[in-house]
Amino acid sequence: MSHRDRLEATCPRCQGQALFIEPFEFTTVLPTDQPARRWGGWYVVERYPQLLPWQAPAGSSSQHLLHGSSHGQGYVPLTRGVVECQTCQAPFVHLLNWPQDAWWQWSVRGRLLWAWDRDHARRIVEYVRATDRPRRGVYGDIANLPAYFLAAKQRDTVIKLIERTLNATH
């Protein structure tokens, strides 16, 4: 289960490079250094208490965190969060539309390849480039990479596209 709480996204206002940040931190231990709200078995720390205060999901009798695009009851991280953009300056609330919002994305013969952030893009290209590929499970966030992008036919295109972006940006 990924505990990723910030993604590199395209700013929905200026189209520049920005960060999308999960506004809440969930912990089972009461934090001593910052205020926290109680939600079932969780303590919820608000990263942006003014901008996006915690509201328990409506109708959820069981307090659980849902990951991915589930439609159950509970809280789904990385859905409604905060965009921090150097150009726009003031952080603002945004409903994430992933992977369309991904800053790191490439069209490979009409299919969308994306990365969570720069490090993830680097790990993808390293993995695709490797001639003797270890099992994907060992790589964590590479495990979800569709086999399509690993096929010999796409390999060179994928490497070229990702490396070009990595070299062009910081």
Candidate ranges 38-46, 80-88, 120-128, 144-152; the one touching Zn ion (CB under 5 A): 80-88
- How far is the C-alpha of 83 from the C-alpha of 34, rounded, in Å? 22
**Do the Cβ atoms of 100 and 31 come closer than 8 Å?**
no
Residue 74 CB, nearest distance to Zn ion (Å)? 31
Which residue of 27, 55, 87, 107 would you call a contact of Zn ion, by CB under 5 A?
Answer: 87
**If we measure between CA atoms, which residue out of 78, 94, 83 comes closest to residue 17?**
83
Residue 170 CB, nearest distance to Zn ion (Å)? 17
H or E element, residue 114: strand 111-115
* Residue nearer to Zn ion on the CB measure, 77 or 91: 91
Residue 14 makes contact with Zn ion by CB under 5 A: yes
Which residue of 85, 142, 150, 162 would you call a contact of Zn ion, by CB under 5 A?
Answer: 85
* Residue nearer to Zn ion on the CB measure, 103 or 114: 103
**If we measure between CA atoms, which residue out of 113, 98, 119 comes closest to residue 155?**
113
Residue 88 makes contact with Zn ion by CB under 5 A: yes
Candidate ranges 20-28, 83-91, 115-123, 147-155; the one touching Zn ion (CB under 5 A): 83-91
**Do the Cβ atoms of 98 and 7 come closer than 8 Å?**
yes
- How far is the C-alpha of 146 from the C-alpha of 27, rounded, in Å? 32
The residues binding Zn ion (CB under 5 A) are 11, 13-14, 16, 85, 87-88
